[in-house]
Amino acid sequence: MNDKNQEIVRGAFREYYFKHSSQVEMPQDIAHREFGYMHLAAGMTRHLSFKSRGEVMAGLVREVPSDVYCSNAIYRFPTLPMNEKQWQGADLIFDIDGKDLDLPCVPSHTYRVCASCKHVSPPSEKEYACLSCASKKAEHVSIPCSRCIDGSKKEAKRLIDFLIEDLGINKSSIRLYFSGNNGFHFHIDDESYRPLDSPARSDLVGYLSGIGLMAESIGVRKSPGSDLAFVKFPKGGLDYGWRKKIADRLKIDATSAIKLSNRIKEKGFSAFKSEVDSMAREAGVRIDPQVTTDVHRVFRMPGTLNSKSGLTKKRCDIDQIDSFDPFQEACLLGDSKIKVHLKTPVKFSLKGESFRISKESAELPAFAAVYLICKGLADAS
């Protein structure tokens, strides 16, 4: 980010941390968390520690980091190097990112920044070639649309269902946030998950993502030496968890052993096996496995700003997820007028206002100007 852009963003972010400090949520055991700042200029500082809310807020207003992170882990000595911190446990967290969902709308709002000359090309169905230098390499910048958000919401709701129905986590222990750009973050307040190590979390991720389901676990076993199978439903029945999800999709219940046998006879066991596997992946939630599995990570702090957009990582009531509009509710920067130079024609909506700009320069409210600067689609002029 150039100096001028930095100055504009810093001003808007500082104002936010000053005016909206109540948005920033402190973790439990604050003194035992590791904090990290990403700097507007570049680079990252980790291994920071704060004793109180006051200290955190003073740091934010003074430093105005571009992004603020806090460990989900609890350490005895949060400021020491990683292998001396003495890990004491970590909260369970999940990340759903709209860009991992392969949504069909994405090309229609993806801008491309040329890797060699930095020229920005607007969304286009055609195969990319820089309009200025014809290079084919580019960085993709997306302005998520409401369909993107709906896609993430659908995953989030599915995850909530798994957490409550299967894992028995209390609804009140689930904190859901808009990530500040294009997805949702979950923080789970359930101490029994804190001690779990990485392999245990990875098993949990497999469960939630629908990876590794065996046909045997719904009672279908291969007959030795052939591609046939025999069916004997498990002792515990097919009424809960993954067994139920798959039974529902196969339209079977505990009385359908014969029906299922016949069905497998038609296609063979291997085909059935892969059918079950893809059903499970389909029914699973698309979460980022790294985020949940890594127990030494720093994770975006609730209520802080995301420098990919200038939007807030904003709490979302899980009962109101359908009506939650992040482009309205997470857009909390001010609206003083800022002049920008646009690198491409753009269209987007924020705070209930639709912007469709094809001129090269424009005067925009701060929240919109910062949004475009953060996306790399405009420069402060």
The site for another protein (CB under 8 A) is made up of: 165-169, 192-193, 195-197, 199-204, 206-207, 210-214, 216-217, 234-237, 240-243, 280
SS3 of 126, please? coil
| C-alpha to C-alpha distance for 78 and 86, rounded to whole angstroms | 8
The least CB distance from residue 302 to another protein, in Å, is 24
For another protein, the closer CB: 244 or 347: 244
Known catalytic membership, residue 166:
no
For another protein, the closer CB: 170 or 262: 170
Q: Which does 134 bind (CB under 5 to 8 A by kind): Zn ion, another protein, none?
A: none
For another protein, the closer CB: 106 or 205: 205
Q: From 130-138, 175-183, 185-193, 328-336, give the range in contact with Zn ion by CB under 5 A.
A: 130-138
- Identify the residue among 8, 9, 70, 145 touching Zn ion (CB under 5 A): 145
Residue 46 carries which DSSP code?
E
Cβ contact 342:360 at 8 Å: yes
Known catalytic membership, residue 67:
no
Q: Tell whether residue 114 is a contact of Zn ion (CB under 5 A).
A: yes
| C-alpha to C-alpha distance for 138 and 146, rounded to whole angstroms | 25
Q: Which residues are bridge partners to 356 per DSSP?
A: 347
Q: Beta-carbon neighbour count of residue 339 at 10 Å? A: 13
Known catalytic membership, residue 97:
yes
Q: Tell whether residue 135 is a contact of Zn ion (CB under 5 A).
A: yes
Q: To 10 degrees, the CA torsion angle through 129, 135, 141, 146? A: 10
| C-alpha to C-alpha distance for 289 and 156, rounded to whole angstroms | 15
For Zn ion, the closer CB: 143 or 316: 143
Out of 190, 288, 325, 335, the active site residue is 288
Q: Which does 100 bind (CB under 5 to 8 A by kind): another protein, Zn ion, none?
A: none
Q: Beta-carbon neighbour count of residue 136 at 10 Å? A: 12
- Identify the residue among 117, 211, 214, 271 touching Zn ion (CB under 5 A): 117
Q: Which two tokens stand for residue 102?
A: 């392969």
- Identify the residue among 52, 132, 262, 270 touching Zn ion (CB under 5 A): 132
Q: Which does 248 bind (CB under 5 to 8 A by kind): another protein, Zn ion, none?
A: none
For another protein, the closer CB: 61 or 283: 283
Concatenated DSSP letters of 131-177 = TTT----EEEEE---HHHHHHHHHHHHHHHHIIIIIT---GGGEEEE
The least CB distance from residue 103 to Zn ion, in Å, is 6
Q: Which does 280 bind (CB under 5 to 8 A by kind): another protein, Zn ion, none?
A: another protein
User: 24-54 as b/e, with b when 16 or more CB fall inside 10 Å?
Assistant: bbbbeebebbbbbbbebeeeeebbbbbeeee
Q: From 110-118, 157-165, 186-194, 223-231, give the range in contact with Zn ion by CB under 5 A.
A: 110-118
Q: Tell whether residue 148 is a contact of Zn ion (CB under 5 A).
A: yes
SS3 of 193, please? helix
Residue whose structure tokens are 């209520």: 303
Cβ contact 326:88 at 8 Å: no
SS3 of 100, please? helix
Q: From 37-45, 114-122, 208-216, 312-320, give the range in contact with Zn ion by CB under 5 A.
A: 114-122
Residue 101 carries which DSSP code?
S
Residues lying near Zn ion in the complex (CB under 5 A): 105, 114, 117, 119, 130, 132-133, 135, 145, 147-148
- What residues act catalytically? 95, 97, 288
